[in-house]
Amino acid sequence: MNSTLLFPHSISISSVSHLPSPRTLSPRCCCNSIPSQDMEAKPSQGLYPLHRCKTIHLVRHAQGVHNVEGEKNHDAYFSEDLFDAHLTPLGWQQVDNLRKHVKASGISNRIELVVVSSLLRTLQTAVGTFGGEGYIDGVDAPPLMKAGAGGSDRPAISSLNRTPFIAVESCREHLGVHPCDRRSSITKYSELFPAVDFSLAKTDEDVLWKPDIREEDKDIAARGVKFMNWLSTRKEKEIAVVTHSGFLYHTLNSFGNDCVPSVKSEISSHFANCELRSVVLVDKCMIGSDPPVTNYPGRSSE
């Protein structure tokens, strides 16, 4: 594993999972129990070069119809009626509330990229939270979402002066068996969400989802770690990621195993619908190539 997660209050959370990785990250324990007499000698914080760090805002999608039906009866997850589940009216209210938060906190103005799972409920959550105001015909910019997309009663959402949005297959929910986790075609999505970049999708139809094989927890965790490594290679320094409960839970459980339980819980506890958590991703193995922009080498006086 090549990346480390830190919370913004600078407690280091090093990843020590034994998932397969091109390079093994040697754990840098920051939160292990330290005898009181050694506290001054052993720092409990992590110190890393700024240009090796990215701020990641992790978001679970808002309430979808599958969440409602699945809470009533777990067997509902096997229903084709929930194929590529869309947001409920309550889910859209949750999006509105999160949108107010990211604007008030300044997140919406700082992020340089929105990465979104290529499923309907995450696309709706992402554009509703981080997109522009209402779309106006004639504006020289395609909308992030067309009016009524996904059976909603929502107006079109503008992409004007908004950060780029890119759909990524590798941060999808558990693959297989549950129709709610099977995506529609990229052709359909491109029509509903014209300003979202779907170029990373390798096939138009969903070939990753299998009707009789459900992705195992260890496999989604390994996929999540690879996704985090991919984020480390991006040039953007502040990124929003809109994804799913299972993906977040199993991915983030791969991190923080060298920390006290309360810090581990801050990372890996289950996300509520439309919950946002901000973390710092540290590239400890130099898989990225970001140069230092604030460092100054110093010069001898002439």
**Which residue numbers are catalytic?**
61, 173
Sign of CA dihedral 172, 176, 178, 184: positive
Residue keyed to tokens 């075609």 = 185
Nearest to 256 by CA among 229, 225, 292, 300: 225
Q: What is the DSSP letter of 215?
A: P
Whether 274 and 122 have beta carbons less than 8 Å apart is answered as: no
Residue keyed to tokens 């110093």 = 298
For residue 4, CA distances in Å to 7, 158, 163 come to 10, 35, 25
Would you tell me how many other CB atoms lie within 10 Å of the CB of residue 82?
22
Whether 53 and 118 have beta carbons less than 8 Å apart is answered as: no
Find the angle CA(219)-CA(241)-CA(221) to the nearest 5 degrees: 15
For residue 164, CA distances in Å to 27, 259, 294 come to 34, 35, 25
